[in-house]
Chain A
Amino acid sequence: MIRDIENETMPREDLRALQLQRLQAVVERVYHLVPFYRRRLDEAGVKPEDIRTLDDLQRLPFTTKQDIRDNYPFGLFATPMAQVVRIHASSGTTGKPTPVAYTQRDLETWAELMARTMACAGAHRGDIIHNAYGYGLFTGGLGFHYGAERLGAAVIPVSGGQTRRQIMLIQDFAPTVLCCTPSFALYLAEVGLEMGVSFQDTQLRVGVFGAEPWSEAMRQEIENRLYLDAVDIYGLSEIMGPGVCVECIEAKKGLHLFEDHFLPEIIDPQTLEPVPPGEYGELVITTLTREAFPLLRYRTRDVTSLDYSPCICGRTIARMQRIRGRSDDMLIIRGVNVFPSQIESVLMETPGVAPHYQLIVDREGQLDTLEVHVEVDEAMFSDEVKKMEALAKGIQRQIKDYFTVSVKVKLVEPRSIPRSEGKAQRVIDKRKI
């Protein structure tokens, strides 16, 4: 169902006019309210009044995660704290998280866009929504929560973990919509099987799955095992959180991007030039309506393409293809963003641990696994097994504390991690998505 007929099915010419008007307003705002952007725009020789057409977007500077980090914690906020009513954060490339802020109106917009998202995915008033996205700093839990309430559905804010209990709730509370990561959906199927629960007998009808890349094959498997329609959702905390785009249940062919609030581009990550329509490249988003945390041309590092042709569902807004990968080295492990550099800094903080490590990412059954190989040098070596095991467990615990992701630490011999041109290959991703 289309919740906002006007904004989701607008003729593209009208949409472009709206985007231009909003783009001009956001450039004007950040130029006057965010010192970082004033400096960047001055450096680029662009004044707000230079933005006369949407093509002038190309003249604006990019924003990267590093920029957010350089202005840690609140340097990029465009409103005084008195107007900020919520702060979320995602993991950064190093120790510090990446905080983002919301005004009351930002939260209204977010709830509305998530309500659109849920409607697009086939949910409606009267549905019971089992929300297994994590509640907390991560935008997933609360993003879905407020969207579902805005839609008029009943939310079960179950959050992550306690899988068996979740299956009990799915049986007893009879939710009709399941929201979680696709890998957790498959894990639910697996645990359900162990418990002798048939998902055919549950009321689940739709699943809204995101926060990590998945594939068409995984969709088939989820649909076959959970007996529901599985749709893909995308979002990122820097931009807002979930609700940037979502597939429609009618076509399940590309994710409708709410272009009245987000202006997307696809660029070549090397040349930074736009790629021809339909070609794959890095997704760049300019926020058009955010008050507390507006971003110009934010480089998401997610690789995808955009399709501007109308969809059978009636929407005229662009459709983003499934995320195909990353243009940097970020890993998504069970929905948690992990940068190899973060693991490195955890290892460096462990006394006696050598700087040579390798990350092996794989998928066992339905769950991502991360194995950290650490080379043992003389400083950390002991002739006693218990000391070596304590060392491995200590590193394991530190990483778990830091990322909330369980990893396996494997101690390996020196020089067993292959070096090429003096530089070690840090990540081996064996997952077939």
Chain B
Amino acid sequence: MKVEQISVFLENKAGRLAEVTRVLGDGGINIRALSLADTTDFGILRLIVDQYDKARELLKQKGFTVGKTEVVAVEVPDRPGGLGLVLQILAQAGINVEYMYAFVQHSGKNAVIIFRFDNLDDAITLLQKEGIHIYKGEEVYRL
């Protein structure tokens, strides 16, 4: 039920993001989803890729600081209020969203949103109980 996400530490200077995408592109790795959190001095790039281990290896070889985080891919109805519904369920249960970002691709008529929670297992149990679809890792990498 969990998805492996690669995070990469980036300094705020020109060309760093391009370098990451170049390394992955050369390695034949496809980026499925990404988000970039930025501050004045640095950024944290978070990626879902189709080949996690290979991507991690390639980036480390190039000297990037790479981290691994488990996240949840949630299916959200692609209509007004769709995301609100999911967030409301989480809020009522007191589960805090650390960050979230959307998948580039749709799954049928629905959107796929990546969530990072402090307590991943509780969040998964809760969402499933409420009938919300959560993707398995392999599904997401192949999406």
Contact = CB atoms under 8 A, between A and B. Distances in A.
Given A376-B65, A377-B65, A413-B65, A383 B116 contact: yes
Contacts of A378: 65-67
A381 B46 contact: no
Given A378-B66, A383-B69, A385-B44, A413 B99 contact: no
A410 B41 contact: yes
Secondary structure at chain A's binding surface: helix, strand, loop or mixed? loop
Given A378-B65, A383-B44, A416 B99 contact: no
Contact of A416 (B11, B66, B67): B11
A388 interface: yes
Contact of B64 (A385, A411, A413): A413
Interface in A49-82: none
Interface stretch (B2-10, B87-95, B102-110): B2-10
Nearest to A375: B65
A415 interface: yes
B41 A381 contact: no
Interface in A367-401: 376-378, 381-385, 388-389, 392
Interface in A411-433: 411-416
A376 B45 CA distance: 14
B16 interface: yes
B67 A383 contact: yes
Contacts of B9: 376, 381, 388, 411, 413
Interface residues of B, number: 21
Given A388-B44, A410-B41, A413-B16, A382 B67 contact: yes
B63 interface: yes
Given A376-B65, A378-B67, A382-B67, A413 B10 contact: yes
B60 to A, nearest CB: 9
Of A381, A392, A414, most buried by chain B (CB within 10 Å of CB) is: A381
A247 B46 CA distance: 60
Contact of A381 (B7, B11, B16, B99): B7
A72 to B, nearest CB: 38
Given A383-B69, A389-B39, A413 B11 contact: yes
Contacts of A376: 9, 42, 65
A381 B65 CA distance: 7
Interface string B111-143: 000001000000000000000000000000000
A415 B39 contact: no
Nearest to A408: B41
Contact of A414 (B39, B46, B65, B99): B65
A385 B38 CA distance: 8
Interface in B32-77: 37, 39, 41-42, 44, 46, 63-67, 69
A180 to B, nearest CB: 32
B26 interface: no
A376 B7 CA distance: 13
Contact of A383 (B11, B39, B46): B46
A416 B41 CA distance: 14
Nearest to A371: B41
A381 B42 contact: no
Contacts of A412: 11, 42
Q: List the 6 closest A-B pairs by CB distance, nearest first.
A: A383-B7, A383-B69, A385-B37, A381-B67, A381-B65, A413-B11
30 contacts: A376-B42, A376-B65, A377-B65, A378-B65, A378-B66, A378-B67, A381-B7, A381-B65, A382-B44, A382-B67, A383-B5, A383-B44, A383-B46, A383-B116, A384-B44, A384-B98, A384-B99, A384-B116, A385-B39, A388-B39, A389-B39, A392-B41, A410-B42, A411-B9, A411-B41, A411-B42, A413-B11, A413-B65, A414-B63, A414-B65
Interface of A: 376-378, 381-385, 388-389, 392, 410-416
Interface of B: 5, 7, 9-11, 16, 37, 39, 41-42, 44, 46, 63-67, 69, 98-99, 116
Given A413-B9, A414-B65, 19 more contacts: A376-B42, A377-B65, A381-B65, A381-B66, A382-B7, A382-B44, A383-B7, A383-B67, A383-B116, A385-B39, A388-B42, A388-B44, A389-B39, A410-B41, A410-B42, A411-B11, A411-B42, A413-B63, A413-B65
